[in-house]
Amino acid sequence: MPVQSLCSYLQLLTMPTPSLILVPARFKTGKLYTPLATTSGGVVLGASGDFNVTRATTATRVNASGLIEIVASGVPRLDYYTSGGTAGCPALLVEPAGTNLIVQSQNWLASGWRSDATANVTTVSATTGTIDPLGTNTANAISPTSGNTSHLKVGSDGSIIFTSGTIYTASAFFKQGTGDAGRYVQITQPIGTFTQGFYANFDLQLGTISATGSVSADTNRAASIENYGNGWYRCRLTATCNAGGSAGSAFALISSSGSTRTLSFSGTTTDILYGWGAQIETGSIATSYIPTTTGSITRNADVINLSGAVSGCIGQTEGTIYAEVDLQFNNRNADIIGLDSGSSANGFYLVIRSSSVIELRIRQGSTNALIFQRTGAYPVGINKIAVSYKNGDFAISLNGTTTQVDTSTITMPSVAITRASVVPSINFTLDQSVRVRAVVPYTTRLTNAQLAALTTL
| pLDDT value for 117 | 55
With a threshold of 0.75, does the pTM exceed it? yes
Cα–Cα distance, 194 to 188 (Å, whole number): 9
If you compute the radius of gyration of the chain from its CA atoms, what whole number of angstroms results?
A: 24
Cα–Cα distance, 362 to 299 (Å, whole number): 31
Q: Are residues 132 and 271 in the same domain?
A: yes
**282 vs 4, more confident:** 282
Q: Tell me the average pLDDT of the chain.
A: 91
Out of 61-70, 108-117, 448-457, which region has the weakest mean confidence (pLDDT)? 108-117
Those residues whose C-beta lies under 8 Å from the C-beta of residue 208, and which sit 6 or more positions away, are: 202, 225
Of 232, 238, 230, nearest to 214 (Cα)?
Answer: 238
Q: What is the band of 81 on the pLDDT scale with cuts at 50, 70, 90?
A: confident
CATH at residue 255: 2.60.120
Those residues whose C-beta lies under 8 Å from the C-beta of residue 89, and which sit 6 or more positions away, are: 2, 4, 5, 8, 80, 437
Q: What is the band of 345 on the pLDDT scale with cuts at 50, 70, 90?
A: very high
* Residue 395 · residue 403 · CB < 8 Å: yes
Q: Print burial letters for 18-30: b (CB count within 10 Å at least 16), e (below 16).
A: bbbbbbbbbbeee
How crowded is residue 92: how many other Cβ atoms within 10 Å of its Cβ? 29
Q: Does the structure show a pLDDT above 70 at 86?
A: no
Q: Are residues 367 and 326 in the same domain?
A: yes
Cα–Cα distance, 23 to 440 (Å, whole number): 9
Q: Are residues 76 and 112 in the same domain?
A: no
Q: Which residues pair with 160 in a beta bridge?
A: 247
How crowded is residue 107: how many other Cβ atoms within 10 Å of its Cβ? 19
Section 5-31 average pLDDT: 77
Section 42-68 average pLDDT: 94
Q: What is the band of 41 on the pLDDT scale with cuts at 50, 70, 90?
A: confident
Cα–Cα distance, 194 to 215 (Å, whole number): 10
Q: Are residues 83 and 104 in the same domain?
A: no
| pLDDT value for 246 | 92
Q: Using H for helix, E for strand and C for coil, what is the string for the chain?
A: CCHHHHHHHHHHHCCCCCCEEECCCCEECCEECCCEEECCCCCECHHHHCEEEECCCCEEEECCCCCEEEECCCCCCEECCCCCCCCCCCEEEECCCEEECCCCCCCCCCCCECHHHHCCEEEECCCCCCCCCCCCCCCEEEEECCCEECEEEEEEEEEEEECCCCEEEEEEEEEEEECHHHCEEEEECCCCCCCCCCEEEEECCCCEEEEEECCCCCCCCEEEEEEEECCEEEEEEEEECCCCEEEEEEEEECCCCCCCCCCCEECCCCCEEEEEEEEEEECCCCCCCCCCCCCCEEECCCEEEEECHHHHHCCCCEEEEEEEEEECCCCCCEEEEEEECCCCCCEEEEEEECCCEEEEEEEECCEEEEEEEEECCCCCEEEEEEEEEECCCEEEEECCCCCEEECCCCCCCCCCCCEEEECCCCCCCCCCCEEEEEEEEECCCCCHHHHHHHCCC
| pLDDT value for 51 | 97
Q: What value, to the nearest 5°, has the Cα angle with vertex 208 and ends 276 and 183?
A: 55
Q: Are residues 213 and 151 in the same domain?
A: yes
Section 330-343 average pLDDT: 91
Q: Which long-range contacts (CB under 8 A, 24 or more apart) does 358-363 make?
A: 358/385, 358/387, 358/396, 358/398, 360/387, 360/389, 360/394, 360/396, 361/427, 362/389, 362/410, 362/412, 362/413, 363/413
Q: Does the structure show a pLDDT above 90 at 208?
A: yes
Q: Are residues 45 and 10 in the same domain?
A: yes
Q: Are residues 155 and 264 in the same domain?
A: yes
At position 163, the amino acid (one-letter code) is T
Q: What is the band of 8 on the pLDDT scale with cuts at 50, 70, 90?
A: low
Considering 259, 276, 299, which residue would you say is the last residue of a domain? 299
Domain count, the chain: 2
| pLDDT value for 262 | 92
Q: Tens of pLDDT along 418-433?
A: 999 999 989 988 888 9
| pLDDT value for 4 | 46
Q: Are residues 289 and 311 in the same domain?
A: no
Cα–Cα distance, 374 to 403 (Å, whole number): 9
Considering 250, 265, 299, which residue would you say is the last residue of a domain? 299
| pLDDT value for 391 | 97
The domain in which residue 153 lies consists of 98-299
Section 440-453 average pLDDT: 94
Considering 299, 326, 360, which residue would you say is the last residue of a domain? 299
* Residue 228 · residue 61 · CB < 8 Å: no
Q: Are residues 104 and 13 in the same domain?
A: no
Instruction: Report how far Cα 41 is from the mean position of its chain's Cα atoms.
Output: 37
Q: Are residues 163 and 282 in the same domain?
A: yes
Q: What is the band of 85 on the pLDDT scale with cuts at 50, 70, 90?
A: very low
| pLDDT value for 6 | 46
Q: Are residues 140 and 253 in the same domain?
A: yes
Cα–Cα distance, 434 to 146 (Å, whole number): 45
CATH at residue 423: 2.60.120.200
Q: Are residues 286 and 313 in the same domain?
A: no
Section 20-35 average pLDDT: 93
| pLDDT value for 3 | 42
Q: Does the structure show a pLDDT above 60 at 233?
A: yes
- β-pairing, 334-340 vs 265-266, is unpaired
